[in-house]
Amino acid sequence: MPKTSQRKKKLKNQDFQKQKLKVGKKKLAPSTQTDISFKTKAIYVPDQGIVEEKKEITSSRNLTLKELLGQAKHYSSITRKDALNGIKEIYTNYPDEIFLNLGTVFEKTIPIFIDKEPDVRLALLQFYKILIPDLKIDQIKPFMSVFMAYLCSAMTHILEDIRLDSLKFLKLFIDNFPTLTIYYSDKLIPNFLNHLTGDMKMNSKSNSSSLSNSLLVNPKSKLGSTKSRAAILTSFYDFLSIIINDNQNLSNNNKNEDIKENININWTKQSSIQIYSNTEHVYNKNNDNSVVLDIFNAEQKSNNSTDRIDKDSLGISETNTFLKTQNIKNSYNLNNKSQLKDFMDILLPVLFNCWIETSSDAFIGNVNFSPTLVIIKTIIQIQNLVWKKYSESEKESNEWVESYLKLIINHMMIYFPFGNEKCSIKDQKTEDYVKEINIIFCELLSTFLSLNWNDNSKLITICLNNLMKYFNIFFGKRKNEKFVMINDIKAEHLNTLFPAILKLINSLPQNDSLKIVDIISEYFMKVHSQSGAKRSLIKFINQLLNENNLFYQNPVFFEHIKKVFSSLPRLMWELKTVYLNTTETIFDILLKLFKFGINFQERIQFLENLQMTMIPYFYVEIPNKGSIFGPFIQLPCELQKKLINIIYYFPTINEKLFKAILTCCKNKFLSSETIDKILEVFELRQNLLFTTKIQPQQYLSFILTILMGYNSNELETLNKRYLDKQVIPALKVQEVLSNSKKRKIDDDEINAKNEQIANIWKRQNEINNSVVKRLKSLNGIPQNKILNLLEPFTVKVFNNSLPDHSLYGLVFIIMNFIKYKDTCSKSYVNILCQNITRLLESIWSKDNYMTTPEYKYIFNLTKYIFNNLYLEMINYLSKDIIDINKAKMAYRLLNDIILKLEPNLIRKIQSLKVMIHELKKVLTNQQEIDNLQKILRFLDY
């Protein structure tokens, strides 16, 4: 056993020893006590700026715009990308910060167009997508030259990714600033052609660049892939369209520019397309020392590569003499026909090359949506664009046009209709896209058809036959001699096809033209009334009637489209007021039908039947449902008058139509302007030779019923409610006829009712003037006989309780012919004075009579009455003051009207003194009585 050391023994014993306290020493702390004392020391950490508050605007990473722009040139691609995202963040939150430093921002970011890293270019594109659309034209115009310089550099960059991304940046400028972009077309268009045909190559002999005339089909090249080529062609089409077909593009895409006129681009010194060929250059020195490049007569460089397609494979060299002899110019003014042809000779061969390479397997087997279809569509769109431009200045066909039409027939039409039975399309998206391709191709053919061709042209015959074949497929198909409609035709598809259809109808023999008419008619009858296709067809039919007299003169054509015309009134009802432009177009069609059809005796019955179907559009009574107003009441005034113009050419006006129009005239929502038009048309019809005349009594009754605004049944209803020939306020009449219950109304409703009353009286006054104008021009009836014609009608009406505004209308009409009162009986004049008194009492007896909406109309009429019937009226009033209301009326008339007549005249009227004495008996106001006494003294003076 080992021995324990002395030291260990000593330490062991210390654990159990009790320490002794010593004098002068502190008591030791227990061994179990924890020492909680601590010491502190300060340390210094240098400020690294992580949480430093900066006075300038910063991004979420606390970097200012100046710092971010500095990082845009950093060697690290991640830093450059983050810097662009930071700039985008600042613009999103503080756009003014970017606008104030726009020049600096562009200076630092534009060079990134040619950055080698795709993520950095994508970050710049995302920033520009939100910045560029917000800029105004004067903000970006100073920088356009820099933009285009770097853009062209990107389009010609050695890296194909940069060249493809340049198209995305170019689209931003095409969409937002087209007019600024096209000024650089001389630099951009050659770059587009470079993308399609290969890189620009330097010629050591001439020290100039040259462009290959064959396609770039390198399998290893991204530019040669179908996806890239589709993007290039699409971008090229967008750019070319703002130059050639700028109207549509500017109106749809341009948000920042105020364009008032079309843009005509002259590619002269400032903007010219420099086109080069992959050939030895031949320099021809002209007088002005300019250089002309002859790319087709030059000696061809050796190029035996089998992956390129040359112009000979298209047959261009055999069919087009221009391409053999004409030199390429340095500039092309597309408004000049000759220079436009030169440009097309450069462009079209490239497009045909693209077509031949792409179309070979596009429509074989299963067809799916792919970049190949995009290429096919875009090639047709570009051709359509340039040929439309050519047809604007040239209407005659020639060998040059025929050569290209042959190419279209030989290389493009062999697949038409695209997506036919030789291939299978199962995807709806692909089917819709192929349909758009077919329609655009039809538009291209219609452009050729719009030129003047020889009658025996085989090329045109081929085009017409193929179009006819497609139309049968497009509009529907027949099964067991029945038409089966295609439901997914869009309005824009139809609008594109209509020029070709119109050309076919005018060009084909009659039997073939009738087949097209039958196809369109059957489709028209099947398609939904409120669809866009239906509205487009309506516009086309109207255009067809405007441009082709066959539908008026040839009874065969008329018979084939007659069922379309018969359906128009029903279509008008179904449209109601939803599509007013379409409704207006239908009115135009109907006006032509009646205007020209009235000259054909065999069409009279058809027009009369068409007229009958139009009645519900005005008003109709349905058993068990009551009366229903048609859409006519809700139309704008101008459209109402347009429809009324059609009535002028109706062969006859049957009773139902007469009643429907009359009922509409009594509707308070029909404007007085429309009523005046109705009266005018009916008056003019009385003078027409080919129409059936309305009897004078019936016509007069029609006019006065319009004046009254109520029929006999409504007046009978009022008589049951109001006895003793009362004069009823207009709003109370509406309550009675609508069976509405009385209730308390607030001040706002009172003001609204006052406005409503004012509108009723204003409308009545305008109708009064229209009726007077028509009565004064009644055919064959002198004016001194009008009052005799009015007498039996007015006597009958005066025996009823009447609305105040209707009674005002009758009195107004009578007073316009009162100078012929000697032709009437004394009893009629007495009845007239009685009813005038009824009317005046209803207004003049009110406490606040001068503030009522109807007062201004009644006041003017009252002055006219006492200027012409003063003696009769004063005699009647002197015998009729039997209550306080009539006394109030007579007193106010005395002060406001009668005393303002000629003094010598009123002093001779003895009945006036009698009236004043009767007033003194009834009135209770002492001031009024004293005033009457003064008037008596004045009369006795």
As a whole number of angstroms, the distance between CA 463 and CA 306 comes to 34
Burial of residue 737, with CB atoms counted within 10 A of its CB: 0-12 exposed, 13-18 middle, 19 or more buried: middle
Indicate if 389 and 457 belong to the same structural domain. yes
Averaged over 299-305, what is the pLDDT?
34
Indicate if 809 and 882 belong to the same structural domain. no
501: number of CA atoms within 13 Å, CB side?
25
Q: Is residue 123 part of a domain?
A: yes
Alpha helical stretches, state H, 508-628: 510-526, 532-547, 550-553, 555-566, 568-575, 580-597, 604-618
Indicate if 814 and 904 belong to the same structural domain. no
Burial of residue 723, with CB atoms counted within 10 A of its CB: 0-12 exposed, 13-18 middle, 19 or more buried: exposed
Q: Is residue 683 part of a domain?
A: no
- Mean pLDDT check: name the lowest of 111-125, 683-697, 755-769, 771-785: 683-697
499 compared with 755, residue with greater pLDDT: 755
Q: Give the pLDDT confidence score for residue 618 in this predicted structure.
A: 92
Indicate if 97 and 150 belong to the same structural domain. yes
As a whole number of angstroms, the distance between CA 325 and CA 316 comes to 12
What is the per-residue DSSP string for 672-734?
A: HHHHHHHHHHHHHHTT-SSSPPPPHHHHHHHHHHHHH---HHHHHHHHHHS-SS-EE-HHHHH
As a whole number of angstroms, the distance between CA 437 and CA 373 comes to 8
Question: In this model, does residue 510 exceed pLDDT 90?
Answer: no
Taking CA atoms, 161 is separated from 114, 166, 176, 221, 228, in Å, by: 10, 9, 24, 10, 10
pLDDT band at 2 (very low <50, low <70, confident <90, very high): low
Q: Give the pLDDT confidence score for residue 637 in this predicted structure.
A: 92
Structural domain range at position 925:
856-940
Contact 69, 83 (CB under 8 A): yes
Give the max Cα distance, the chain.
170
CA 70 to chain centre: 48
Q: Is residue 68 part of a domain?
A: yes
What is the per-residue DSSP string for 819-882?
A: GGGGGS-HHHHHHHHHHHHHHHHHHHTSTTGGGSTTHHHHHHHHHHHHHHSHHHHHHHHHT---
* Residue 641 token pair: 């008058």
Element (H, E) at 292: strand 291-293
Indicate if 825 and 871 belong to the same structural domain. no
Q: Give the pLDDT confidence score for residue 477 in this predicted structure.
A: 55
Burial of residue 454, with CB atoms counted within 10 A of its CB: 0-12 exposed, 13-18 middle, 19 or more buried: exposed
In this structure, is the dihedral angle defined by the CA atoms of residues 601, 603, 609 and 615, taken in order, positive or negative?
negative
Taking CA atoms, 38 is separated from 35, 41, in Å, by: 9, 10
In this structure, is the dihedral angle defined by the CA atoms of residues 873, 879, 885 and 888, taken in order, positive or negative?
positive
Question: In this model, does residue 566 exceed pLDDT 70?
Answer: yes
Averaged over 343-353, what is the pLDDT?
85
Indicate if 169 and 119 belong to the same structural domain. yes
Q: HEC string of 302-363?
A: CCCCCCCCCHHHHCHHHHCCHHHHCCECCCCECCCHHHHHHHHHHHHHHHHHHHHHHHCCCC
As a whole number of angstroms, the distance between CA 103 and CA 154 comes to 21
Average pLDDT for the chain: 77
Residue that has been written with the tokens 């006075």 in this structure:
55
Read off the pLDDT of residues 455-471 as tens digits, 9 standing for 90 and up: 677 888 888 888 888 87
Torsion of Cα atoms, 405 then 409 then 411 then 416, to 10°: 130
Contact 470, 442 (CB under 8 A): yes
As a whole number of angstroms, the distance between CA 806 and CA 934 comes to 38
- Find out whether the peptide bond into 792 is cis, omega within 30 degrees of 0: no
Highest mean pLDDT among 190-194, 267-271, 476-480, 704-708: 704-708
Q: Is residue 156 part of a domain?
A: yes
Looking at the chain, the whole-number percentage of residues with pLDDT higher than 90 is: 5
Indicate if 822 and 893 belong to the same structural domain. no
Contact 806, 708 (CB under 8 A): yes
Q: Is residue 22 part of a domain?
A: no
DSSP structure class, residue 34: P
In this structure, is the dihedral angle defined by the CA atoms of residues 719, 724, 725 and 727, taken in order, positive or negative?
negative
Indicate if 158 and 239 belong to the same structural domain. yes
Indicate if 385 and 471 belong to the same structural domain. yes
Number of helices (H), then strands (E), in the chain: 44, 12
Of the residues 824, 845, 866, which one is the last residue of a structural domain? Answer: 845
5: number of CA atoms within 13 Å, CB side?
3
- Mean pLDDT check: name the lowest of 39-48, 569-578, 622-631: 39-48
Residues 6+ apart with CB under 8 A from 624: none
Which of 504, 523, 508 lies closest to 561, judged by CA?
Answer: 523
Of the residues 439, 462, 479, which one is the last residue of a structural domain? Answer: 479
What is the per-residue DSSP string for 407-432?
A: HIIIIIGGGPSTT-TTEE---HHHHH
Indicate if 922 and 787 belong to the same structural domain. no
Which of 889, 760, 492, 579 lies closest to 571, judged by CA?
Answer: 579
Q: Give the pLDDT confidence score for residue 636 in this predicted structure.
A: 92
208: number of CA atoms within 13 Å, CB side?
16
As a whole number of angstroms, the distance between CA 722 and CA 733 comes to 10
Contact 359, 415 (CB under 8 A): yes
Averaged over 167-179, what is the pLDDT?
87
Q: Three-state SS for 221?
A: coil
Q: Is residue 96 part of a domain?
A: yes
Of the residues 845, 874, 898, which one is the last residue of a structural domain? Answer: 845
Indicate if 466 and 358 belong to the same structural domain. yes
Indicate if 871 and 831 belong to the same structural domain. no
Question: In this model, does residue 310 exceed pLDDT 70?
Answer: no
Q: Give the pLDDT confidence score for residue 641 in this predicted structure.
A: 93
- 525-556 burial string, b = 16+ CB within 10 Å, else e? ebbebeebbbbbbbbbbbebbeebebbbeeee
Question: In this model, does residue 563 exceed pLDDT 80?
Answer: yes
Q: Is residue 214 part of a domain?
A: no
Where residue 114 sits, what CATH number does that domain have? 1.25.10.10
pLDDT band at 676 (very low <50, low <70, confident <90, very high): very high
Instruction: Please write down the long-range contacts of 431-439, taking CB distance under 8 Å and 24 or more positions apart.
Output: 432/488, 433/369, 433/373, 433/377, 434/367, 434/373, 435/474, 435/493, 436/377, 436/493, 437/373, 437/376, 437/377, 437/380, 438/470, 438/474, 439/474, 439/493, 439/496, 439/497
Q: Is residue 358 part of a domain?
A: yes
Look up residue 433 and give its amino acid. Answer: Y
284 compared with 649, residue with greater pLDDT: 649
278 compared with 706, residue with greater pLDDT: 706
What is the total count of domains within the chain? 4
